[in-house]
A = this chain, B = another copy of it.
Amino acid sequence: MAGSSIGQLFKVTTFGESHGAAIGCIVDGIPPNLEICEADLQHDLDRRRPGQSRYTTMRQEKDQVKILSGVFEGKTTGSSIGLMIENTDQRSKDYSEIKDLFRPGHADYTYHQKFGHRDYRGGGRSSARETAMRVAAGAIAKKYLNEQFGIVIRGYLSQLGDIKADSIDLDEVENNPFFFPDLSKITQLEDYMKALIKEGNSVGAKVTVVASSVPVGLGEPVFDRLDAELAHSLMSINAVKGVEIGDGFAAVSQKGTEHRDEMTPGGFLSNHAGGILGGISTGQDIIAHIALKPTSSLTIPGRTITTNGEATTMITKGRHDPCVGIRAVPIAEAQMAITLLDHLLRHRAQNLHVTTNTPFIK
Contacts and interface: CB of A to CB of B under 8 A. Distances in A.
Given A203-B256, A243-B242, A24 B68 contact: yes
B278 A247 contact: no
Contact of A204 (B15, B66, B252, B292): B252
Interface string A320-362: 0000000000000000000000000111111110010000111
B20 A69 contact: yes
A60 B204 CA distance: 47
A234 B273 CA distance: 17
Given A222-B125, A264-B303, A33 B117 contact: yes
A221 B119 CA distance: 13
A110 B265 contact: no
Given A161-B255, A201-B257, 16 more contacts: A1-B9, A2-B29, A9-B346, A24-B69, A33-B117, A109-B277, A110-B219, A113-B280, A114-B219, A203-B256, A206-B252, A244-B249, A251-B292, A260-B302, A263-B305, A264-B303
A310 to B, nearest CB: 7
Interface stretch (A48-56, A74-82, A172-180, A182-190): A74-82
A257 B300 CA distance: 8
Nearest to A359: B309
Contact of A260 (B69, B104, B115, B206): B104
A196 B256 CA distance: 10
A344 to B, nearest CB: 9
